[in-house]
């Protein structure tokens, strides 16, 4: 996953591991997000859960462009009733997040709903050629291998998305579209301590 995210960003950090431990353990994903926002040097930041291995560079390119060009504090996707932990978050929301955590809020969905958020609906993603499968939540290597499918199946699913999201935009953009987070944002991978340390292992792929 770290290698995959590195295709669209120069800075990818794993929250909850040995290099960037949670500042306050036990707060769940919001604690990891707070840790990232406390140490980031950029205004726009991407937070991705460790258990979303099927996010593609095509989608991340689209998502990065939307996050950097938008004026909302939070960018999220809505997949039926779910809000996956794949969020574009402005650094300026840190005080609001601190207040929510102090009020015992632990829900990512509550954080998104209570923030100035832009929501990308599944219908828009479908029109761009993405499927809800990219947000499939997997927790074991066996689940990951079973869900990958054949190369041809994955290639056909992504062909339309690449056409929309990897070609250079028609209008000038303030960042490199193929690496949308380069020098503009930090990318953080958020998960449990066990998952985060596993991602830090050199031979751990995608």
Q: Is residue 190 assigned to a domain?
A: yes
Q: Is residue 204 assigned to a domain?
A: no
Start-to-end Cα distance in the chain: 4
Q: Is residue 97 assigned to a domain?
A: yes
Q: Is residue 90 assigned to a domain?
A: yes
What lies within 8 Å, CB to CB, of 19 at 6+ separation is: 13, 200
What lies within 8 Å, CB to CB, of 34 at 6+ separation is: 23, 24, 27, 94, 97, 98, 101
For the stretch 85-125, pLDDT in tens is: 999 999 999 999 999 999 999 999 999 999 999 999 999 99
Q: Is residue 59 assigned to a domain?
A: yes
CATH code at position 100: 3.90.550
Of the two residues 197 and 172, the one the predictor is more confident about is 197
Q: Is residue 87 assigned to a domain?
A: yes
Instruction: Specify the 3-state DSSP secondary structure of 47.
Output: strand
Q: Is residue 103 assigned to a domain?
A: yes
Residue 13: HSE in the Cβ half-sphere, 13 Å Cα cutoff: 20
Residue 152, pLDDT above cutoff 90: no
Number of domains in the chain: 1
In percent, the amount of the chain with pLDDT more than 90 equals 45
Structural tokens at position 66: 């939307």
What lies within 8 Å, CB to CB, of 47 at 6+ separation is: 32, 33, 36, 85, 86, 87, 89, 187, 188, 190
Q: Is residue 170 assigned to a domain?
A: yes
Structural domain harbouring 21: 2-199
């Amino acid at each position: 996953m770290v290698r995959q995210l590195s295709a669209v960003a120069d800075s990818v950090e794993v929250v909850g591991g040995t290099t960037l431990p949670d500042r306050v353990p036990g707060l769940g994903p919001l604690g990891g997000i707070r840790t990232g926002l406390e140490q980031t040097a950029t205004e726009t930041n991407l937070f991705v859960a460790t258990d979303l291995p099927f996010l593609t560079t095509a989608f991340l390119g689209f998502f990065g462009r939307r996050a950097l060009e938008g004026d909302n504090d939070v960018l999220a996707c809505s997949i039926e009733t779910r809000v996956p932990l794949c969020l574009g978050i402005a650094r300026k929301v840190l005080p609001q997040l601190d207040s929510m955590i102090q009020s015992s809020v632990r829900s990512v969905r509550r954080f998104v709903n209570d923030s100035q958020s832009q929501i990308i609906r599944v219908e828009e993603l479908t029109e761009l050629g993405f499927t809800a499968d990219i947000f499939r939540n997997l927790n074991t290597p066996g689940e990951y291998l079973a869900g990958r499918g054949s190369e041809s199946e994955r290639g056909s699913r992504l062909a339309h998305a690449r056409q929309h999201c990897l070609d250079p935009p028609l209008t000038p953009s303030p960042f490199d579209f193929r690496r949308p987070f380069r020098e503009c944002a930090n990318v953080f991978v958020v998960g449990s301590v066990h998952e985060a340390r596993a991602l830090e292992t050199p031979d751990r792929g995608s």
